[in-house]
Amino acid sequence: MSAQPVMLPQGWEARWDGQSQAYYYVDQSSGQSQWELPTAPSYGSPDAQTPVTAPPASAAPTAASPAAAPRAGRRHYPTAQIQQQLYGGYDQAQQPGLQAPMQAGFPDQQGGQQQQQPGGGGPAQYFTPAGMDGSLQQPGVQPPAGYAGQQAGAGPGLGPQFPQGQQPVDAMSNQFQQMNMGYKGPAQAGGAAAGGYEQKQLHPIHTVNLIGMQPDVSALDSPPPPYLIPPNAAVTQSPHVQPDPSYQRSTLATMPMTQSLLNKSKLPLALVMAPYRSFRESDGDMPVPVVEDSVIARCRRCRAYINPFVTFIEGGNRWKCCMCGLSNEVPQLFDWDQAAGKPADRWARKELNHSVVEFIAPTEYMVRPPQPPIYAFIIDVSQTAVQSGMVATAARTILENLDNLPNADKRTKIAIIAVSTSLHFFSLPPGSAEASMLVVPDLTDVFLPKPVDLLVNLNESRPAIESLLNRLSDMFQDSHIVGNALGSALQAAHQLIGKYGGKIIALTASLPTVGEGALKARDDPKLLGTSKENSLLNAASSFYKTFAIECSKQQVAVDMFLFSASYTDVATLSCLPRYTAGQTYLYPGFNASRSEDAIKFATEFGRVLSQPIGLEAVIRVRATRGIRMSAFHGNFFIRSTDLLALPVVPLDQNYVIELQLEDDLKSSTVVIQTAILHTTCYGERRIRVITQSMSTTDSIAELYASADQVAITSYLANKAVEKSMTSSLDDARSLVTNRLSEMLTVYKNQVTSSAGASAQLAVPDNLKLLPLLACGLVKHVGLREGASIPPDLRAYAQDLLTTLPTQSLVPYIHPRFYSLHNMPPEAGTIGEHGVILPPPMNLTSERLERHGLFLIEDGQNMFLWVGHEAVPRLVQDVFDLPAYADLTGGKFTLPQLDNPFSQRVNAIVAKTRELRRGVYRPHLYVVKSDAEPALRSWALSLLIEDRMDHMSSYAQYLTTVKNKVNGSS
């Protein structure tokens, strides 16, 4: 009797008839039986389940023991058979709880007679899930490329044909081996690595020599190395089982199996994430899928959320955790469509098809009812703030954005406090058309002058709020008070909103000099450029850090908007956002009479006010057993060893989490999952879950081939900023260069196997721009050598280095450089994906031409460089001026002129301003090549491939790295 395994459609079972010595088939929902082999699934009542009857051992000597009867009330998913038939490697001994495929040799029975296969003793044909209708087949599951499921001669819906006498499992495995999939058949598995997964080079590795090679800057936009995992690692073959890099990416796309291998490689292992990433249709973003039925399946032991990488066992009634391996019950309603009131297709569930999903959390995930969005505005009304126009601009921006504040459920609350050397509270009673001011001069023992009407509902007190904002600037127009009690105002705002939580938005145009947390100017020029300069980058007062931690406990975040032409002590005041998950914004030399200043601040402030935010959030990262989180970088407070507290989750803020291996990894893949429990600004408690899977390796070459140069740069930026605060700026720069040199030394010695000194600098192709990014990092204003960088600018730059998402961080470290006067004809016109930008150029002044027009931008500032021999026609077309001599450098607003070149240049500038995620609107500066030495030097400092002051050029930097590599060989 020949052997032929057959997979039955859903809802059918095979029973043995001893009298006729043949199988018959039973519809589990109706109880009806037939001799014909069923080809379509049966959708019956989910309560109708029939025990499985096993054939006698003598009749089926090769069949596995029968599966246990599925439990009543559950749909029976032949999950293991689906995966094994699709991908091979079926091992009945490893799945004792699953019904074995039917033994071959029992084709359809007609009247008790066996019907022979067409072709007599030819190759047998097999049913596969791909050939069956209904939910037995997982939607989207397609055979891999080259899969032999539809060979010539196979009928519709029939699987591959195997040579007679060859086991189908072995044939499947051999097919995958022929396709270089890297899997071994059962007979070979003894020599494979853990999990039966053959260790081989997943990512191709190509070595390039950087010496003498001009960097290809266009490759900075290339995607990171892919996460290559076995094709059966996910329960569905959805294209969305791995997260988009803008959500989460790892410095390595494969996981080392041991910590000793990781240490030996000198590569960093860290996650770089922006879990609350903004949604931009222009970038092709997909909305985050939301699981709305409140069915949340979690592992009982490690508390991981169900995801595409779990395994269903016992006929689909249980699932095996992909992190700790524990078997868990599948929730009863997991296969039920609550909205339609009927059984649902499990394989279509969002959490099994998407790596990034959001669950609507039930009440057990809430400590208290969801808080409303609350905004407490602290506005500096000292003489400096009023005269600069900050107060008027801020009040007008708040007024214009009242309708844009998150307020869908009409619960949003607002408070406004003005501060100089006294605190000015405003009573905004509901229904009143006017606001009344209450002044508190006591700054040491702050109290609220009124128990009600200071924090009010936006809708109920709208007339009073609008009246106050219209008059606020005029109320203090004649003020000559010099002084700012910011610390006391912060304490008052905390008293107002502390019991609810929310966001304090502080706008100050002068250094806080009175009241709690008073500061003194400490920007001593003698310290700049010395080993003691790092003292200016640390907080001068413990008050702000202590206050920030207290705010974090009460779910209060702080955003700082700093405006000053003089020293503001950004390093100290940025402690507030750093520990409360806020953000710092700096506007040096702000003057609202310059339209460029007013537009930039109003645009960014308006975006901050209108963007959706997550409230009272916690972030926890879980991983496969043996992996632990060892260090955290970003704006948050670490509440416990692995729990990050964020009173507010702002859009597009970046976090870096370092990983370590506590134990050796045995499996062929690992899974890392980030969970963000938060309240939306619309009053809904949600859990955003980001899951990614990585293959493991014991090969250093594979680690280097899978390294992500952008993620490594983000990691190095955070480590360098941390080092600059604890040690010195020189040590921070050395850290970047030394870490780079160590990596390339290991690559040279262990991967390329070239011993001794070399005239080349060998790097893997996927890391060929890492030295350029490292060079840009050590020459960045946040870290560069020099005695002319104001401490406020350096501290603000460091804030950005540690919070910008990778999409914005890369141009901030390596600016973009375009030639506009001779750009291609399609540049500046509308293409398939919007405005077409010119090709980026290398950052060297060799590309500047005396008659040219160039754009240099880093996401924070834009420089329009005009050569001193620019022809009058170019100046006329772009600036509407007769000649170069009539052009004035500095902040500039481009005129919209009625000529094609002006329209193209304006389109490129506008596209650049909206190119990246975030609220920032870069200033545009016009730089004349023969004037304004300070502005000219600032623009040229962005050309990082050139030599600058005491800092080496990119070519010299490569030589330094090469010498370190050769010295360590």
> What pLDDT, on the 0 to 100 scale, is given for residue 928?
94
More confident residue, 93 or 492: 492
Q: What is the rounded CA–CA span in Å between residue 405 and residue 225?
A: 39
Our CA angle for 71, 77, 78, nearest 5°, is 115
pTM of the prediction?
A: 0.81
pLDDT classification of 11: cutoffs 50, 70, 90: confident
Q: Which pLDDT tens digit goes with each residue over 880-939?
A: 999 999 999 999 999 999 999 999 999 999 999 998 889 999 999 999 998 889 999 999
pLDDT classification of 574: cutoffs 50, 70, 90: very high
Q: What is the rounded CA–CA span in Å between residue 355 and residue 357?
A: 6
> Over 60: is that where the pLDDT of 95 sits?
no
> What pLDDT, on the 0 to 100 scale, is given for residue 24?
77
More confident residue, 640 or 546: 546
Phi/psi for 818 (5° steps) reads: -125, 145
Please report the DSSP string for 381-434 in residue order: -SHHHHHHTHHHHHHHHHHHTTTTSS-TTS--EEEEEEESSSEEEEE--TT-SS
> What pLDDT, on the 0 to 100 scale, is given for residue 38?
79
Q: What is the rounded CA–CA span in Å between residue 836 and residue 826?
A: 7
Section 850-864 average pLDDT: 96
Q: What is the rounded CA–CA span in Å between residue 611 and residue 405?
A: 8
> Over 70: is that where the pLDDT of 200 sits?
no
Quick one: tokens of 520? 């003194």
Section 948-958 average pLDDT: 91
Q: What is the rounded CA–CA span in Å between residue 46 and residue 44?
A: 6
Which of 129-133, 782-786, 919-923 is modeled with the greatest confidence? Answer: 919-923
Ranking 121-130, 427-436, 499-508 by mean pLDDT, the lowest is: 121-130
Section 303-311 average pLDDT: 96
Widest CA span in the chain: 108
Length of the chain: 969
* Chain centre distance of CA 784: 28
pLDDT classification of 703: cutoffs 50, 70, 90: very high
> What pLDDT, on the 0 to 100 scale, is given for residue 302?
94
Give the list of residues 6+ apart from residue 846 with CB closer than 8 angstroms, or none. Answer: none
Q: Please report, as a single letter, which amino acid is at residue 513.
A: T
> Over 90: is that where the pLDDT of 108 sits?
no
> What pLDDT, on the 0 to 100 scale, is given for residue 340?
86
Ranking 118-122, 312-316, 688-692, 796-800 by mean pLDDT, the lowest is: 118-122
pLDDT classification of 35: cutoffs 50, 70, 90: confident
More confident residue, 111 or 199: 199
Please report the DSSP string for 896-963 in residue order: --SSHHHHHHHHHHHHHHTSSSSS---EEEEEETTS-HHHHHHHHTT-TTS-BTTBPPHHHHHHHHHH
SS3 content of the chain, % helix, strand, coil (to 5): 30, 20, 50
> Over 90: is that where the pLDDT of 147 sits?
no
> What pLDDT, on the 0 to 100 scale, is given for residue 968?
60
Quick one: tokens of 905? 């240049």
> Over 50: is that where the pLDDT of 166 sits?
no
* Chain centre distance of CA 412: 28
> What pLDDT, on the 0 to 100 scale, is given for residue 489?
96
> What pLDDT, on the 0 to 100 scale, is given for residue 576?
96
Give the list of residues 6+ apart from residue 78 with CB closer than 8 angstroms, or none. Answer: 7, 8, 10, 98, 99, 136, 315, 316
* Chain centre distance of CA 123: 50
Q: What is the rounded CA–CA span in Å between residue 611 and residue 606?
A: 9
Question: Residue 522 CB: number of other CB atoms within 10 A?
Answer: 15
pLDDT classification of 523: cutoffs 50, 70, 90: confident
Please name which of 804, 760, 761, 765 lies closest in space to residue 782, comparing C-alpha atoms.
804
User: Which uninterrupted H or E stretch holds 271?
Assistant: strand 270-273
More confident residue, 384 or 182: 384
> Over 50: is that where the pLDDT of 72 sits?
no
Please report the DSSP string for 548-569 in residue order: HHHHHHTTEEEEEEEEESS---
More confident residue, 165 or 77: 77
- Separation in Å, CA 30 to CA 313, 335, 344, 631: 25, 20, 20, 58
Q: What is the rounded CA–CA span in Å between residue 714 and residue 708?
A: 10
Q: Which pLDDT tens digit goes with each residue over 342-400?
A: 999 999 999 999 999 999 988 888 888 888 999 999 999 999 999 999 999 999 999 99
Residues of the chain above pLDDT 90, percent? 67
Q: What is the mean pLDDT of the chain?
A: 83
> Over 50: is that where the pLDDT of 218 sits?
yes
Q: What is the rounded CA–CA span in Å between residue 86 and residue 396?
A: 63
Buried b (16+ CB within 10 A) or exposed e, 695-732: bbbebbbbbbbbbbbbbbbbbbbbbbbbbbbeebbbeb
